[in-house]
Chains A and B, each alone.
Chain A
Amino acid sequence: MSELLQKEIEQEIGANKILVYGKGTKSAPRCGFTLETIEFFNQFGFPFEVVDVLENMPKREALAQMTDWPTLPKVFINGTFYGDTDILGPMSENGELQKILKDTFGSEPVQKETINLRS
C-alpha cells in the first residue's frame, strides 16, 4: 500500500468527524448503498462528508487493507471505523450511535440537511 495514499486517507479521516467513503458524491450517489448511507446520516442532522472512490481503485485497495473490510461504503466516525449501515442501523436502534455522535460533536445537531436525493 502506498504511504502517500495512507496519509491522504488518514488526513481525510482526521478532518471529518463523520466520513463516508462511497461510490459517487453526496449530491449524486452512484450506488444504492451509498445513497442509503447518505439518507441514514441526513436523519441525524450532524455534518458529514462523502468521498467518492468509485474510480480510484488504488485508494479502494488501501482502504480495504486499512480497515480489513472489503466493501463500500465505509464509515468513519471520530477516526474510528464502523463498517456500514448494516452495523450502524442496529447501533442507532439501541441508542449507541446517538451517544457516539453526541460525544463526537459535543452538542445536539446544529443543521438539518434536507436534500431529497430521490426527487
Chain B
Amino acid sequence: MITNDALTALIREMLPDAEVEIFDRTGTRDHFNLAIRSSAFRGKPLLAQHKLVYSALKEALADGRVHAVELKTIATENSHV
C-alpha cells in the first residue's frame, strides 16, 4: 500500500522530470496503472524505459507496498528545468 505522492516521489528520485499519472486498479492501493512521461526515456527502447521505472520501484515491489504495475512510458522532449 502506497500513496500517490509517495509513489510519484519514488519515480522522481530516478526520473526527476517525470509526470506520473496513477490509477488504482483495485482500490487497494497496491495494483496500479502508471503512465509516466519523462525526457529520460528519449532514445531508449521500451524495455530499457520500463527497466528504469522498475529500478525506481525496486524496494516498493520487494517489500509489497506495490504488488503489480501496468506500465506505460512516454518519452518527452528535453526538459528545460
A, B assembled together? yes
- A residues contacting B by CB (< 8 A) are 32-33, 68-71, 81-83, 86-87, 90-91
Taking CB atoms, residues of chain B closer than 8 Å to A86 are: 50, 70-72
Tell me the total A-B contact number using a CB cutoff of 8 A: 29
Which A-chain residue is minimally distant from B26 (CB atoms)?
Answer: A32
Which A-chain residue is minimally distant from B71 (CB atoms)?
Answer: A86
- Tell me the chain B residues, 47-68 only, with Cβ under 8 Å from chain A: 47, 50-51, 54, 57-58, 61-62, 68
If A33-B68, A86-B71, A86-B72 touch, whether A69 touches B46 (CB-CB below 8 Å) is no
B61 touching A91 by the CB < 8 A rule?
Answer: no
If A33-B68, A71-B69 touch, whether A83 touches B47 (CB-CB below 8 Å) is yes
- A83 to B62 CA separation, bound complex (whole angstroms): 18
- Tell me the chain B residues, 1-44 only, with Cβ under 8 Å from chain A: none
A70 touching B62 by the CB < 8 A rule?
Answer: yes
B50 touching A83 by the CB < 8 A rule?
Answer: yes
A59 to chain B, nearest CB (A): 17
A70 touching B46 by the CB < 8 A rule?
Answer: no
- A91 to B50 CA separation, bound complex (whole angstroms): 14
If A33-B68, A86-B71, A86-B72 touch, whether A70 touches B58 (CB-CB below 8 Å) is yes
